[in-house]
Structures are given as C-alpha cells and as structure tokens.
C-alpha cells in the first residue's frame, strides 16, 4: 500500500503543532529559507509555503513522498529533496529556520545518528538561525478501564476507505514503539488489515540540548504542543546557531 496514502491518513490532518511553526516562520527576515526535516508528503513544508514563506525545502529519504511534495507544491515556493537528515548540505542560500516536527529526531537509531543530524543542522543554518525539534518526553498515562477507545484516523479515496487506529504503545528501557492497526476497505467491501510500528528512542530535552551544544547549537527555550485524540503531546526544543 502506498506510503503517501498512509502518511496522509495518519499525519495529514494533524494541526496541533502548526501555530508554533507559523510563529517561528513569521519571525524570519525576507529571502531567508526554511528547511523541514522528514517532510513526508509536505504537511508543514507546503503549508508554510502557501502562507508566503520565501522558500521552504523539505528533506525526505522516501522517493515516493518526495514526489508527492513535488506534485502538490508546484509553483508555491515549497520543494523537497531526496536526502537523509544525517547527511545533507544545501549551501546555495541562507536558511534561518530548520524544523523537525513529529519526533523526527527520535526516529534516528542512535546518539551518533542524532549528532550527525544536529551537525548538518548547524552547518546549514545562518549565524543566529534557529532550529526546533519536537520530542516526546513522557507518554500519556494508560486510559482507565471502561474509558472510550481512541478513534481511528479515516480517509476515503476513490471509494476505498483507509483507517488507522492507535493502539497501546510498547515501552522499553530506552525506546517506545508506537503501534497502529491499518485497515483498508475496498469499494466492494473487502477488508484487509496490517500492523504498523514506529520506534522512538527515548531522550529528554536536557539530553538533546547537551548533544546540540556539542555542535554549536545553543538552547534558547522550550515550547509545548498539546496531545490530541490520536497523537501524543510534544516538547519542542528550540536551538540557535551561535553567531
């Protein structure tokens, strides 16, 4: 099944973080670019471009998702590059803001991977430029017995129905696995389903700030993004490249 469809179903309707990204983008000078790490199908990249940001480039290592951004963002200032967030360099223009929404930094497998990503961020930011990383520090408590189950994310496309139901996460000592049940119903009513898992490495805001300081990014504050019925809340670590 197309990752574009599932990305749209599970992430496309998420809006709780958008006011913060808008606020950070609105504070930029003219003709200063924005990079989004792990842009998916362009939820944030294309939204900021539509609001008038001079240039927004999303980085993604899945070609199908990158092509979706190209198709949807033609002519609006939004673009995407097929690049790994641990190995990127875009030297042709000044970037004043780099965003990493939806726990992107925790999807990297190790501290070394995070350091590589942070090093690229520092190298691609202009002096005084800012970065913002959304992380999950604490999972919500287990719902009490008898409480209503979470609602699935659902989308209908050309008669096909796609449903993604959040399940109870699995917590380990150094990571958490977020689980979903993906279900597809064909126009003739045939149901198929498959599990989906995303592993996040557990890290605190303090740990991320220490790692960022190693590559010349200084902490300048934190913001909170509230939880929704389908998504956990986030702490956003704000960083600045030293002038």
CATH of the domain at 235: 3.40.50.150
Query: Both 82 and 163 in a single domain?
Result: no
Query: Both 195 and 105 in a single domain?
Result: no
Query: Both 8 and 111 in a single domain?
Result: yes
Say if 89 falls within a structural domain: yes
Per-residue confidence at 140, pLDDT binned at 50, 70, 90? low
Say if 212 falls within a structural domain: yes
Q: How many residues does the chain have?
A: 243
Query: Both 164 and 126 in a single domain?
Result: no
Using a pLDDT cut of 90, give the percent of the chain over it: 82
Query: Both 216 and 168 in a single domain?
Result: no
Query: Both 30 and 67 in a single domain?
Result: yes
Supply the CATH number for residue 160's domain.
2.20.25
pLDDT in tens, 100-117: 999 999 999 999 999 999
Does the pLDDT of residue 177 top 60, yes or no? yes
Say if 144 falls within a structural domain: no
Say if 143 falls within a structural domain: no
3-state DSSP call for residue 188? coil
Q: What is the pLDDT of residue 142?
A: 62
Say if 106 falls within a structural domain: yes
Counting the structural domains of the chain, the total is 2
Average pLDDT of the chain to the nearest whole number = 93
Residue 204: φ, ψ to 5°: -90, 165
What's the pTM value of the predicted model, to 2 decimals?
A: 0.94
Question: Which residues sit opposite 163 in a β-bridge?
Answer: 154, 183
CA 136 to chain centroid = 12
Query: Both 64 and 14 in a single domain?
Result: yes
Does the pLDDT of residue 18 top 90, yes or no? yes
Query: Both 166 and 46 in a single domain?
Result: no
Say if 21 falls within a structural domain: yes
- The candidate with the shortest Cα–Cα distance to 230, out of 9, 48, 30, is 9
Does the pLDDT of residue 27 top 80, yes or no? yes
Domain limits at 174? 153-199
Query: Both 129 and 82 in a single domain?
Result: yes
Query: Both 173 and 133 in a single domain?
Result: no
Query: Both 44 and 90 in a single domain?
Result: yes
Q: What is the pLDDT of residue 143?
A: 60
Per-residue confidence at 146, pLDDT binned at 50, 70, 90? low
pLDDT in tens, 43-56: 999 999 999 998 99
Q: What is the pLDDT of residue 144?
A: 59
Query: From CA 170, how far away is CA 8, in angstroms rounded?
Result: 24
Q: What is the pLDDT of residue 2?
A: 87
Using a pLDDT cut of 70, give the percent of the chain over it: 95
pLDDT in tens, 212-233: 999 999 999 999 999 887 788 8
């Amino acid at each position: 099944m197309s990752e574009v469809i599932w990305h749209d179903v599970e992430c496309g309707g998420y809006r709780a973080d958008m006011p913060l990204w808008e606020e950070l983008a609105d504070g930029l000078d003219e003709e200063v670019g924005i990079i989004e790490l792990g842009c998916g199908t362009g939820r944030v990249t294309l939204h900021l471009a539509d609001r008038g940001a001079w240039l927004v480039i999303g980085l993604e290592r899945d070609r199908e998702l990158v092509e979706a951004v190209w198709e949807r963002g033609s002519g609006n200032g939004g673009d995407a590059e097929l690049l790994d967030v641990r190995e990127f360099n875009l030297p042709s223009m000044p970037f004043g803001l780099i965003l990493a929404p939806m726990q992107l930094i925790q999807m990297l497998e190790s501290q070394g991977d995070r350091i590589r990503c942070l090093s690229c961020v520092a190298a691609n930011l202009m002096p005084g430029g800012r970065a913002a990383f959304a992380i999950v520090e604490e999972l919500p408590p287990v719902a009490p017995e008898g409480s209503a189950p979470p609602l699935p994310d659902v989308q209908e496309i050309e008669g096909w129905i796609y449903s993604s139901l959040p399940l109870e996460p699995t917590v380990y000592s150094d990571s958490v696995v977020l689980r979903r049940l993906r279900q597809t119903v064909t126009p003739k009513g045939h149901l198929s389903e498959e599990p989906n898992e995303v592993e996040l490495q557990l890290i605190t805001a303090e740990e991320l700030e220490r790692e960022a300081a190693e590559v010349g990014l200084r902490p300048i504050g934190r913001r909170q993004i509230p939880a929704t019925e389908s998504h956990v809340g986030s702490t956003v670590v704000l960083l600045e490249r030293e002038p």
